[in-house]
Structure 1
Amino acid sequence: MRKALLAAALVSCLAAEPAIIPLPKEMKAGEGSFPIVPNTSVRYEGALDQVAKLFADDLGARTGNRAAPLREDPLIELASEIRLKLDPALPLRPGGYKLEVSPEGTMVTGKDMAGVWYGTRSLLQLLPPIGSADWKKGAAIPAVSITDEPRFGWRGMHLDVSRHLHAVEDIKKFIDWLAFHKLNTLHWHITDDQGWRVEIKKYPKLTEIGGYRDSTPPYGNRDSDDGKRYGGFYTQEQIKEVVAYAAARQIAVVPEIDMPGHMAAAITAYPELGNSDIPNYSPKVRNRWGIHFDTLAPTEETFKFVDDVLTEICAIFPSTYIHIGGDEAPKDQWEQSPRVRELMKKEGMKDGHDVQSYFVKRVEKILAAKGRKLIGWDEIREGGLAPNATVMSWRGEAGAVASAKEGHDVVMASTSHLYLDHYQLPKNPELAKGVEFEAWGGFQPIYNVYSYDPVPKGLNAEEAKHILGVQAQLWAEYLKTWDKVEYTAFPRIAALAEIAWTPVEKKNYEDFRSRLDPIMAHYKAAGVRHAQPLAPPKRQTKDGSTIETSLRSFRAEFLWPELAYDGDPETFFWSAAKLKAGDHFTLTLRAAVSGKKVKVVTGDKVGPFTDKLDRGVLEASSNGQQWTEITAFKDGVAEGTAPEGTTSLRIRVTAAQEHWISIGEIEIE
């Protein structure tokens, strides 16, 4: 009984802790609270006009009583005030702040303007959500003392609008939520094979022709067409509006003009920009997703086009960085083109990878002349990295480690943890709700996002300084509507925020999860659609049976072999290697099963991809040494009857296969 009372007291104490995401560097709860009353005002130093106004607006939206912010004036005494001030001498990183809340008053002190802004975001999280009944009975900020600073300078969220266009007002709303979580970069993917979404005045066909495609794959059948023309674009004035809106909220908008690949829309608009000297040249704005062969030709005419486009892009996007993509650029057209082969001979290039490097280096010079920095996906390393390029590493950590060791800055964007276009809940129950819940594939639960550390283990302390930060991706093939964008992004954005901001030694998933419910209450109150977080599985079989396997887990931190026999039909084991003959997955049971039906399902019936076992057998043993074949796998499924005395079941691969394997719940009935 004493233990139960102590546990209850601890839970009560934990519940009283302020719920802030990302978790501050230092936070100590105080006694009492600071009441928000109708005449609570925001008092600020002169340089903080914009931050004070936006914060006053945020308070007004919650209280219904917008008090005009007041400049600092010692002659005016206010009964209730929240003070905002700057102190560049604070011993904190850029973006750092101190927040002091007591029953007598509230003070936010920022090292810079961004720091003051982040302090106000913490205050909003400490207040009840918009429309909460707490506002009617008198809302208050709990007493707390916070000293805080960001771990990384780049805390980013990527949004693709090339596949599906979204309204300016929705993107502004998204920016508000990025700011709420102290993220500071919106990577805006605005051109691709399926649509060019930004007005370029010198090249109007980019949007007139390249902004529209003939059809789109419908949900549920990605190899089909809906037959409906789709398109649109943002005017330069609309983009300036979004950029200014973001800047006021301490967010930089980094545009991506993807090149030299992913350029079908532009090449369709201006065919002379492509490899027009190859056989069967016929560019078109692409209707289907995936990688296409259309690449810009590395000609002087093309580089003049790139320079012109980037001139207009730089005029509407003041960001330090311009993202040039550089990913998934097939080399086929270059290697077929007599014109490119001649260039290769002239420049001493041996293959298409050298052409890629040549192209990226030319673009870097164009951007440098405009006072901007080039950033691109890790494929820009192919053939040799441009001298001052920054790498956005999405294909694991190898490219990041190599780039940092070479002295290049890196933003971590790994598909293993940070691709939010993957399912965040199990695929089968999601699709059971309707085909509109379809995702690109993969499995990215919130606990996996949270587990990520952006600093690769292969770097020493000096090399690690080149890791600028971290970013999650929202590719939009399956994000046709804004509510689907929200459902896909939230609440995983909260996990991203914490890995980007909070000191790694303070991260704790259970603590994060306890703070997430109050944050999701803010989402709900504001009408933001979001998924319910999936609870992490436990590494154990349902009855203590054991599993041994020669197969390596795709994600060793949670896709364990034990999940194939844990009693949950929605969990699964997923390998991370091509299969070879002799590979095995062996279940040793606690008790013998004789004459019982056994069923094993592999592939897309259980996992997110079609990773079924093509050639293999299900075997049984009574001693773990001699094995009897029960049945062979057919279309990824094995069903049969366990022989007398069976204490072990084994899945054995009989021939090599290129793709991986996922194994669902082993059923014994």
Structure 2
Amino acid sequence: MTVANPTVMGVLAALVLAACGDKAPQPSSPAVAEKISIVPAPRKVEAGAGVFVLGGDTRLEFGDGVDRARLGGYLTDLLQKTYGIGLGANGNAPNSSVIRFELTASESAAGPEGYSLLSSPSRIVISAGDSRGLFYGAVTLWQLLSKQKDGFIVPAVTIEDSPRFGWRGLMLDSARHYQPPEFIRKFIDVMALHKLNVLHWHLTDDQAWRLEIKKYPRLTEVGAWRVPAGPAAAADIDPATGKPRLYGGFYSQEEVRELVAYAKSRNITIVPEIDMPGHASAAIAAYPKLAVIDRPSADVPADWGVYPNLFNVEESTFQFLEDVLAEVVTLFPGQYIHVGGDEAVKDQWQASRRVQARMRELGAKDEHEMQSLFIRRMEKFLTGQGRRMIGWDEILEGGLAPNATVMSWRGIDGAVAAAAAGHDTVLSPQPTLYFDRRPFETPSSPGRVEISTLENVYAFDPAPAAISEEQRKHILGVQANIWVEHIRTPDRVEFMAFPRAAALAEVGWSPAKDWVGFSERMPAQLERYKLLDVRFAEAPLPRPVDPLRRISHEMALCTDKIALSLEDDAPITGTRAVFKVDIMNPCWLFKGADLSKVNALVASVGQVPFNFQIGAAVKEIPLHKPATPAGELEVRLDDCNGERIAVLPLAPAVGNFAVTTLPAANITPREGRHDLCLTFTRKSIDPVWVIDSIELKTTSVAGTE
């Protein structure tokens, strides 16, 4: 768990206030703002007089029709877990304070998730037209609670609340890295406390098939396991098999049913994603007859990126996918099933005589229309099962299926096009709502180098002007996506998700934005994460840059094509280094180095596998001819075409899969400040040599050149 630095928490509000400038909106009721820190902000809050004291004398009451076991059990467990409060521990005396839940005669204009909360010194009443609203009222009550000298109190307040959008989601990618069910349950718990209500669960991709399908057992027997990329994993031999150890896991149908039921108890619908027609490599490894090509790989691949492998378009393959979806709909009772539809490179379809013949049989004039027919076939099947299909915005290409919903990820254009055509849409655009982008500059967090801050997320407009007022009825809501190619562990998922999920929750729930008010509520939200043992992203205190030593994250990249904060592949267990690198051009600039007294340079380097499917772009990666078989690190003065002032052979690092400190190289002192360009010579793109750190020495190293 991340333990928040009190100094950081104390200055957080001031920092975000400063970022807002003079145009930031002001809280409508400063007196109320001082007392409550609810996230997401309620629609209407009015302060009252006095406080409600919560403790062992407090009892729960339930009106007719309220599920007391579910609601009472949830609130009681939450209070006990986070504050150690045992409700009703001292009996039910007539003068006990009361928390009452009651259902009103109808949902009213607030909708099924709306609620009202009235708190006075002797009584708290939470009312709603639906159990979902009562649940969110309980969540708000928990957030109102604070510890004072006299015990735990709730301020006297009247709250009328309901969400702006019905879809407030997070997508969790469990295909690239498997997260255990206990983590999924914890993630669901924390989502619920943000009033988020959709968990989009990415279960299949090129690198794994995670969902048990009874009719096709090889999907998980084969498709759920792979050997990670790189020599470290290849050398990690499983003694039981004598082969490299397999990495992965899958979710049994029993586990899925339990998770779906658990999520439902927290007002969360799980929407599964079964990718098609692309991102199909794991399924094809399990069942080669699904492939377009004759001899597909029998191994689940470990590269990231976009593979060319598509499902073929035979009737037998359509039947296979319908069989899969038939089991999926029995496991996930929610309205929507996600079919992916993204990044389906059509090269294999274009090159296949059989696919071209099938396209003529089916009346598809080109490959885009073939994908449309493919998706329409699946949409028809799901409609017949009483479900609705949702897919990424590529499903617009070639014509959209009649009842399909579009999840817009390539900016907002997909949402604009879908709404204009009368289709529902969820806005989920990169880079802002892609939580594989780092929340701030940090050397220890793998992910995309590109940054999407808490403020960036909060500023996102889920109802952009490009969608007319009339068409906005098609906006279901908003979602952020946690792609985990570079987020290997559950604690890193939490780090990348929170507190940005709090900003997302407020964007999806609250009727108006108030960045100043939100920032002032953040310290209390971070304290809640600590109560829940949730790791969260906390910006490190600024530290001065050492003029003589810099890590890769403190240097500039020469280019910004595919820039990653990339974790090492070794050691297999334990802490791994994280490097900043543009995999299209591994080149760094040590800027403004004072070389007047420097006479040696020490470099620590790593090597990571080039496990990236980037298509023809791989031909654009420069290779500098090495002078020795292992290659060298070259250091040039002022720019990358300047004088070469040092060469460090890589031979000592070749056999070490983790970070290696190379023997130092002597350099000649020079007056003034200079930029140093650092590049590697190499014969091939694999491995990618990377800088861990560079240190300039003011004492020469004997025996070096």
Among 186, 190, 193, the alignment partner of 1:180 is: 193
CA distance in 2, matches of 1:111, 1:635: 71
**What residue number does 1:521 align with?**
527
* AA of the residue aligned to 1:91: A
CA distance in 1, matches of 2:419, 2:235: 42
* AA of the residue aligned to 1:201: K
2:134 matches 1:116: yes
8 Å contact kept, 2:63–2:103: yes
Distance change >3 Å, CA 205–CA 222, structure 1 → 2: closer
CA distance in 2, matches of 1:154, 1:183: 8
Deviations 1:518-555 (A, max 9, x none): 0110111222111125899xxxxxxxxxxxxxxxxxxx
Among 7, 20, 30, the alignment partner of 2:38 is: 20
* More displaced 10-residue stretch of structure 1: 258-267 or 11-20: 11-20
Among 443, 450, 463, the alignment partner of 2:458 is: 450
**What residue number does 1:58 align with?**
78
**What residue number does 2:349 align with?**
334
* AA of the residue aligned to 1:475: W
* AA of the residue aligned to 1:518: A
SS in structure 2 at match of 1:440 = strand
Alpha-carbon distance, 1:36 to partner: 0.4
* AA of the residue aligned to 2:315: E
Deviations 1:472-516 (A, max 9, x none): 00111122221111111111110010001011xx31212101101
CA distance in 2, matches of 1:575, 1:95: 48
CA distance in 2, matches of 1:232, 1:406: 40
SS in structure 1 at match of 2:455 = helix
CA distance in 1, matches of 2:234, 2:411: 28
**What residue number does 1:200 align with?**
213
8 Å contact kept, 1:32–1:142: yes
Distance change >3 Å, CA 149–CA 334, structure 1 → 2: same
8 Å contact kept, 2:75–2:138: yes
**What residue number does 2:330 align with?**
315
Among 486, 492, 495, the alignment partner of 2:503 is: 495
Among 381, 389, 392, the alignment partner of 1:374 is: 389
Deviations 1:99-155 (A, max 9, x none): 111112101111311111111111111113xxxxx3885101111111111000000
Equivalence map 1:235-250=2 (5 Å): 235-250=252-267
Alpha-carbon distance, 1:293 to partner: 1.2
Distance change >3 Å, CA 67–CA 333, structure 1 → 2: farther
CA distance in 2, matches of 1:456, 1:304: 40
Alpha-carbon distance, 1:382 to partner: 1.4
Alpha-carbon distance, 1:359 to partner: 0.6
Equivalence map 1:615-654=2 (5 Å): 634=640
**What residue number does 1:394 align with?**
409
SS in structure 2 at match of 1:253 = strand
8 Å contact kept, 2:339–2:391: yes
Deviations 1:585-629 (A, max 9, x none): xxxxxxxxxxxxxxxxxxx99998879999xxxxxxxxxxxxxxx
Alpha-carbon distance, 1:94 to partner: 2.8
SS in structure 2 at match of 1:22 = coil
8 Å contact kept, 1:56–1:66: yes
Equivalence map 1:393-472=2 (5 Å): 393-426=408-441, 429-431=442-444, 437-472=445-480
8 Å contact kept, 2:288–2:296: no
* More displaced 10-residue stretch of structure 1: 87-96 or 153-162: 87-96
8 Å contact kept, 1:63–1:135: no
**What residue number does 2:612 align with?**
none
8 Å contact kept, 1:400–1:410: yes
* AA of the residue aligned to 1:248: S
Alpha-carbon distance, 1:572 to partner: 9.8
CA distance in 2, matches of 1:213, 1:244: 30
**What residue number does 1:270 align with?**
287
Equivalence map 1:471-486=2 (5 Å): 471-486=479-494
CA distance in 2, matches of 1:223, 1:446: 39
Gaps (5+ residues) in structure 2? 1-26, 238-243, 543-552, 563-577, 589-636, 644-669, 673-705
Distance change >3 Å, CA 103–CA 447, structure 1 → 2: same
* AA of the residue aligned to 1:100: L
2:48 matches 1:42: no
Instruction: Name segments (4+ residues, structure 1) moved above 6 Å.
Output: 221-226, 569-578, 604-614
Calculate percent identity across the aligned residue pairs.
43
**What residue number does 1:596 align with?**
none
SS in structure 2 at match of 1:188 = strand
Alpha-carbon distance, 1:231 to partner: 1.5
8 Å contact kept, 1:353–1:383: yes
8 Å contact kept, 1:443–1:608: no
CA distance in 2, matches of 1:152, 1:534: 34
SS in structure 1 at match of 2:640 = coil
CA distance in 1, matches of 2:156, 2:554: 43
CA distance in 2, matches of 1:572, 1:513: 31
Alpha-carbon distance, 1:282 to partner: 3.3
Alpha-carbon distance, 1:15 to partner: 6.0
Distance change >3 Å, CA 158–CA 69, structure 1 → 2: farther
Alpha-carbon distance, 1:575 to partner: 12
CA distance in 1, matches of 2:642, 2:419: 42
* AA of the residue aligned to 1:22: P
Deviations 1:448-474 (A, max 9, x none): 011101112111111011010000001
**What residue number does 1:127 align with?**
145
8 Å contact kept, 1:43–1:69: no
Distance change >3 Å, CA 570–CA 447, structure 1 → 2: farther
Among 57, 78, 84, the alignment partner of 2:101 is: 84
**What residue number does 1:562 align with?**
none
Alpha-carbon distance, 1:14 to partner: 7.1
Deviations 1:399-453 (A, max 9, x none): 1101100000000000131001111111xx424xxxxx21134211111011101
SS in structure 1 at match of 2:519 = helix
Distance change >3 Å, CA 379–CA 173, structure 1 → 2: same
2:155 matches 1:147: no
Distance change >3 Å, CA 48–CA 467, structure 1 → 2: same
2:513 matches 1:507: yes
CA distance in 2, matches of 1:375, 1:154: 13
Give the TM-score, by structure 2 length.
Answer: 0.71
* AA of the residue aligned to 2:529: Y
8 Å contact kept, 2:165–2:477: yes
8 Å contact kept, 2:581–2:587: no
Greater RCO (CA < 8 Å, at least 6 residues apart): 2
Alpha-carbon distance, 1:48 to partner: 2.2
**What residue number does 2:654 align with?**
none
Alpha-carbon distance, 1:328 to partner: 0.7
Distance change >3 Å, CA 68–CA 341, structure 1 → 2: farther
* AA of the residue aligned to 2:532: A
* AA of the residue aligned to 1:453: D
Deviations 1:609-666 (A, max 9, x none): 879999xxxxxxxxxxxxxxxx9953799xx999xxxxxxxxxxxxxxxxxxxxxxxx
CA distance in 2, matches of 1:570, 1:395: 30
8 Å contact kept, 2:32–2:45: no
* AA of the residue aligned to 1:303: F
RMSD of Structure 2 on Structure 1 (CA)? 3.7
SS in structure 2 at match of 1:461 = coil
Distance change >3 Å, CA 231–CA 43, structure 1 → 2: same
Distance change >3 Å, CA 106–CA 606, structure 1 → 2: same
* More displaced 10-residue stretch of structure 1: 453-462 or 402-411: 453-462
CA distance in 2, matches of 1:258, 1:403: 20
**What residue number does 2:268 align with?**
251
CA distance in 2, matches of 1:222, 1:24: 50
